[in-house]
Structure 1
Amino acid sequence: MFYHDNELQYEVEVHDPDPRFAKMLQQAIGGAEGEMRVALQYMFQAFAVPADKSEYRQLLMETATEELGHIEMLATAVAKNLEGASEEQREEAREDAVIAEMMDSGQPRQALSAGLHAMPVDSNGVPFNGGCVVASGNLAADMYANIMAESTGRTLAARLWEITDDPGMKDMLSYLIARDTMHQNQWHAALETMDDHLPVPNSFPQEKENQDVNYKFMSTFKDEQPDPEERWTQGESIDGKGEFSYGRQPGGGEPDLDEVIEAMHNEVN
């Protein structure tokens, strides 16, 4: 169950409206690094948490709901950048040939389909795709995916912060960057509460996996190369259950396929 309070999670102010920046902000809404992705990712992960792990469900659902608030903030920022832009600002932007091309081919649907408001799309206008949502049902695997999601999200927000000179947008992005800092840390902290979770999933008996290659870094060069003697080619493995080594692909002979099924019409005439 969700409840909505008609108040932004954090203040959104735009001092100098910029339609170009509005297009860039769309990436933080509907892009692969954006808030729609993490809101749905954490929500669907929470749906899969069993009753005896309720503390993780609460952690995920609280964060998912926070991310919904971030979408609202960014959508407000997009609208303020679009609706507040003067005709003079729009024409000045076109004096730069590169910017003019961005204006012409960037996000016309923000005006045509959304009346100068945000849309559930990325900065190229591509609709959000739930295929980037990771919800495996394995808590450890999901936490690692969440760290990656927050890392790329923080990178995007930092890049947007560098692009804009608007003090209101810098303030909003500074808030979002700070929340990404917390979220990265909380997912790491959640992993620390999971004893002996490596390798993921830890439920598969390791004695049944191939013992010759389970901690071997494989070189894929055609010619044999010397061991680079890096952290991932020697010494104790990260999970503490093996020793890293260096080697080459074992090789398995040429593929020997069965006859094709006649109904598939795969014959070569």
Structure 2
Amino acid sequence: MFYHDNQLQYEVEVEEPDPEFGRMLQQAIGGVEGEMRVAMQYFFQAAAIPDEHAEYREMLRDTAAEELGHIEMLAAAVNKNLRGASASLGDGDSAVSELLPRQFLSSGMHAMPTDANGAAFDGSWIVASGNLAADMYANIMAESTGRLLATRLYELADDPGMKDMLAYLIARDTMHQNQWITLLKELGDPEEVFDVHPIPDSFPDEVENQEFSYAFMSTNVEPQEATDLPWTTGSSIDEEGEYSFLRELDLDGAPMSVPKPSAQAYNEPAPQGED
């Protein structure tokens, strides 16, 4: 159950409204790097965690709720940047031509669940595999790219209030990266995050085709010589094998063929002279 407090998580002030910057902020709401993604990602990951790991579930739920607050902040920021924009197609910073067309046509100059190009948020970006360790890798990536986006928006911002808000969001992304790395380490050896890799580690090694488990495969058509690189020689990071070097062209491979489709698919061209 969620409860709502009628205040923003952090102050959102815009001294000089900038409709074009309001459009850029949409990426942080409904883009692939945005807050809608991580809020839903953490929520559905939490929904899969059993009672025996309730502390992890609570951690994810807390952060999911925090990200909902970030959506609220960014929506307020978009609205304030669009304030005073004119319903005009003429030139000028206040014209609709500076906005996403849908911000005027579909929402009356307010924030929307879209990215900076007006494309709707896509739920297929959400990663919730049911394997907590695997999900943590996805969360680290999501927070890393989200932080990159916030830093880029910070560089684009001229308004002091927007820079202040983005500095807060950047800080929260720093914390979230660290907390997911900490949780990942908690699942394995505290000193080595990679002890929980590969995932799922419970899959029996003898069933895996171990000839290729630790072979770096070169797909370059030109002959490549094995070199003493960290991923081509020496012990693997999980300490269960030895890296090797393999050229894809040296594999026997298998012939490629496409079977004839069903007649009901009507893929065959009509014989010559027939309709």
The verdict on a shared fold, with TM-score over 0.5 as the criterion, is: yes
Letter of the aligned partner of 1:93 in structure 2? D
Residue-by-residue CA offset, 1:38-96 (whole Å, 9 max, x unaligned): 00000011111111111111111110000000000000000000114589xx95438xx
Distance 1:257 1:81, change over 3 A: closer
- The percentage of aligned residue pairs carrying the same residue is 60
Q: Which residue of 1 aligns with 2:93?
A: 93
Q: Which residue of 2 aligns with 1:125?
A: 118
Tell which deviates more after alignment, 257-266 or 131-140: 257-266
Residue-by-residue CA offset, 1:157-183 (whole Å, 9 max, x unaligned): 000000011100000000000000000
Q: Which residue of 2 aligns with 1:68?
A: 68
Letter of the aligned partner of 1:61 in structure 2? R
Q: Does 1:26 align with 2:26?
A: yes
Rounded to whole Å, the distance in 1 between the matches of 2:202 and 2:231 is 24
- SS of the residue corresponding to residue 110 of structure 2 reads coil
Q: Which residue of 2 aligns with 1:261?
A: 262
Q: Does 1:104 align with 2:62?
A: no
Tell which deviates more after alignment, 106-115 or 33-42: 106-115
Shift of 1:112: 2.0
Alignment equivalent of 2:160, drawn from 163, 167, 172: 167
Shift of 1:211: 1.1
Q: Does 1:245 align with 2:235?
A: no
Shift of 1:9: 0.2
Rounded to whole Å, the distance in 2 between the matches of 1:118 and 1:240 is 50
Q: Which residue of 2 aligns with 1:155?
A: 148
Q: Is the 8 A contact 2:91 2:97 kept in 1?
A: no
Tell which deviates more after alignment, 203-212 or 70-79: 203-212
Shift of 1:25: 0.2
Q: Structure 1: which 4+ aligned runs deviate by more than 6 Å?
A: none
Q: Which residue of 1 aligns with 2:224?
A: 225
Alignment equivalent of 1:142, drawn from 114, 125, 135: 135
Structure 2 residues not aligned, in runs of 5+: 189-194
Letter of the aligned partner of 2:239 in structure 1? G
Q: Does 1:184 align with 2:185?
A: no
Letter of the aligned partner of 2:52 in structure 1? D
Q: Is the 8 A contact 1:16 1:85 kept in 2?
A: no
Distance 1:126 1:136, change over 3 A: same
Tell which deviates more after alignment, 8-17 or 48-57: 48-57
Q: Which residue of 1 aligns with 2:8?
A: 8
- SS of the residue corresponding to residue 247 of structure 1 reads strand
Q: Is the 8 A contact 2:18 2:93 kept in 1?
A: no
CA RMSD across the alignment: 2.0
Q: Which residue of 2 aligns with 1:54?
A: 54
Rounded to whole Å, the distance in 2 between the matches of 1:113 and 1:258 is 48
Tell which deviates more after alignment, 144-153 or 230-239: 230-239
Letter of the aligned partner of 2:39 in structure 1? A
Rounded to whole Å, the distance in 1 between the matches of 2:144 and 2:128 is 17
Q: Is the 8 A contact 2:215 2:232 kept in 1?
A: yes
Shift of 1:259: 4.3
Q: Is the 8 A contact 1:44 1:135 kept in 2?
A: yes
Structure 1 residues not aligned, in runs of 5+: 95-99
Tell which deviates more after alignment, 104-113 or 200-209: 104-113
Q: Is the 8 A contact 2:261 2:267 kept in 1?
A: yes
Shift of 1:223: 2.9
Shift of 1:237: 1.2
Q: Is the 8 A contact 1:40 1:133 kept in 2?
A: yes
Letter of the aligned partner of 1:18 in structure 2? D
Q: Is the 8 A contact 1:106 1:125 kept in 2?
A: no
Distance 1:13 1:207, change over 3 A: same
- SS of the residue corresponding to residue 236 of structure 1 reads coil
Rounded to whole Å, the distance in 1 between the matches of 2:112 and 2:154 is 21
Work out which structure has the larger RCO, using CA pairs closer than 8 Å and 6 or more positions apart in sequence: 1
Q: Which residue of 2 aligns with 1:97?
A: none
